[in-house]
Amino acid sequence: MADSQSMGSNVGAVHADASSVCDSAAPSIDAIEAMIGEAASIVKAAEQRRSARRELRTLIETIEREAALATTEEDYAAADWLRLEAKRLRKSVFGAVPSGAKTAPVVAAPASVRKLEPPAAPVHEAPMPMAFPASGGDLAHWLSRWNEVERQLDGSGDERLKRRQALDVRAVLCGVHAYVVRMSDDPRNGKDVKTARDLRTRVATRLRSLDWPWEAPTIRDHGLDDTSKAAGIRRLSDCYCRASLACQLFDLMQDNPSATLDEGRDSVRAALATMLYLQAELRSLRIADDLVDALVGEMELAADSLGITCVLSDECDAETPPYTSRALSALIERALPEPAREAEGPDDRNAAIQAILDVAGSREDFGADPLRIAEDRAAILPLVDEAFRLGVPPSNKLVRDVILERWPAILNGQGNYTVFRREVDAEIARRAAEQADSDDADAADEDHASSSDIETLASDLRPILAGKRMLLLGGVPRVHTAPKLQAVLGLEEVLWPEAKKADTPAKFETDMRKADVIVIVKNYSRHAASHAAASIAEETGGHCVMLPAGYGVAQIISHVHRYFETRGMIAARV
């Protein structure tokens, strides 16, 4: 009896256990509805993420187009900043966790069965001698990196941008090549190695089409195994990645008109040390690269001009690079121009330029009086700084010309205007070359035009111009030209005032109204005064003659004669 009762109780216990198992295996309606709601929230978050990524991709492409436009307009600082921002946005959006998604709680596995997480894809940072995972994770990294670099390759004419792109492509080529060397001996990696070789061919082909071609490096030390050779090539890839950042930093400092002398020295020193480290790595592997040698030479000249005399050889011979990618990126962020406020636009920039012109034109001797140079500098340089902050480029013609023609001495001893001074010096050199060409043309014209030819043309003009007034505008006034024209043509008066690009038409209005003939020299043909001269001549019944080139006596007489001849006031000569 006791046994039967015991058996019955055991059977009941078995049924109870089965019932509890079924209850635990079958979720309740409430649990199912909760999971439905969770799944719906995940789907909604995914849709929102896809929509947001699509919109952001469109905006990024717009930023990249703006960067290309800025490069076309030679606004290199803005172009570099826009490309850096586009790159940052691309990097931040891909792989981001959806904002509204719920993540499942992480449950730790028992210690006896816990597994190590696989290593993440290698980060392109400091050199890692053995950064070669056995899986295809490293290949995925290089595929992604090449897609990123290839998107930035364009047909821009900016030589400095092409140099940075060539360094980026070299970094990818070395990374992929290192992967092929490391993995090719293992038959289990056959598919990944084939993919890597195809990628290497694509990258190498694209690199040959750039201005600075280069081939995949080959380490000729037969005493090294494939692992050591691959590690050396991979270190070279990291060096090229940092070199691209160093090149961008160097270009930014060349284009930053408001950088302090200390900032310039820090940036150039970092860029040069990074490039020298890469050069030393190339030499240790017996690999040549003309692009690196050219960049090192350019940066050494800049370092000498800034008084950088520190010895960098110890840094270059060290086992670790003197500057990491993160340190170089921080210097780049500091070198980027401060973005203009949202409310600032073309009107603000035009107002800033006009403020400079107003102050520069407030006195005839502004910037030229040695006793007031400090006062003038304090009055004008803050306005120049504000104009640059608002986005006015250092190459702006109005600002450049007013400095060039009125007060270049105002920048003497000022170390924060490297790019601006370069623009001014380039314009001075251009004008000197133009003046030399004009003088040569005038001399050739005077040589070829015989006195009898000039006299023949002058005899036709005298009945029209005798007793009249002539005004010459533009060019560089020559002492002998005005008296000679007056004597040859029988003019009552010939005026040739000094005319600068920054001058307004109002300065010459009185002389233009008195003149019977106004002659506009070529370099003033697009000046506002030339348009005012044409209007005044039409209003007063005078004549306005445009010189296509040169302004020697023979050229002026010849073009004035042609002007009256085309209007039927002189009989055409056969």
Helices (H), 94-154: 137-152
Residue 216: predicted pLDDT: 64
Please count the structural domains in the chain: 4
Kindly state whether residues 365 and 457 are assigned to the same domain.
no
Domain containing 505 equals 449-566
Mark which of 408, 433, 458 sits at the end of a domain: 433
Kindly state whether residues 205 and 151 are assigned to the same domain.
yes
| CA pair distance 174, 172, nearest whole angstrom | 5
Kindly state whether residues 427 and 523 are assigned to the same domain.
no
Mean pLDDT by 10 residues, the chain (574 residues): 48 48 64 86 85 81 76 71 80 53 42 38 36 50 80 67 86 87 80 86 82 67 65 87 90 69 79 89 85 87 74 57 86 70 63 85 73 80 84 79 64 67 72 59 50 81 92 84 90 89 81 93 76 88 85 86 86 60
Kindly state whether residues 476 and 354 are assigned to the same domain.
no
Kindly state whether residues 322 and 173 are assigned to the same domain.
yes
Mark which of 335, 370, 390 sits at the end of a domain: 335
Residue 154 belongs to some domain of the structure: yes
Residue 406 belongs to some domain of the structure: yes
Angle at 328 between CA 327 and CA 333, to 5 degrees: 100
Residue 200 belongs to some domain of the structure: yes
pTM above 0.85, yes or no: no
Buried residues in 542-573 as b, exposed as e (16+ CB within 10 A): bbbbbbeebbbbbbbbbbbbebbbeeeebeee
Residue 574 belongs to some domain of the structure: no
Give the number of residues written for the chain: 574
Kindly state whether residues 213 and 310 are assigned to the same domain.
yes
| CA pair distance 181, 216, nearest whole angstrom | 11
The CATH number of residue 453's host domain is 3.40.50
Residue 24 belongs to some domain of the structure: no
Kindly state whether residues 360 and 285 are assigned to the same domain.
no
Residue 99 belongs to some domain of the structure: no
Residue 190: predicted pLDDT: 81
Mark which of 276, 309, 335 sits at the end of a domain: 335
Kindly state whether residues 350 and 317 are assigned to the same domain.
no
Residue 282 belongs to some domain of the structure: yes
Kindly state whether residues 419 and 556 are assigned to the same domain.
no
Buried residues in 287-312 as b, exposed as e (16+ CB within 10 A): bebebbeebbebbbebbeebebeeeb
Kindly state whether residues 258 and 217 are assigned to the same domain.
yes
Residue 66: predicted pLDDT: 80
Kindly state whether residues 257 and 155 are assigned to the same domain.
yes
Kindly state whether residues 530 and 420 are assigned to the same domain.
no
Residue 299 belongs to some domain of the structure: yes
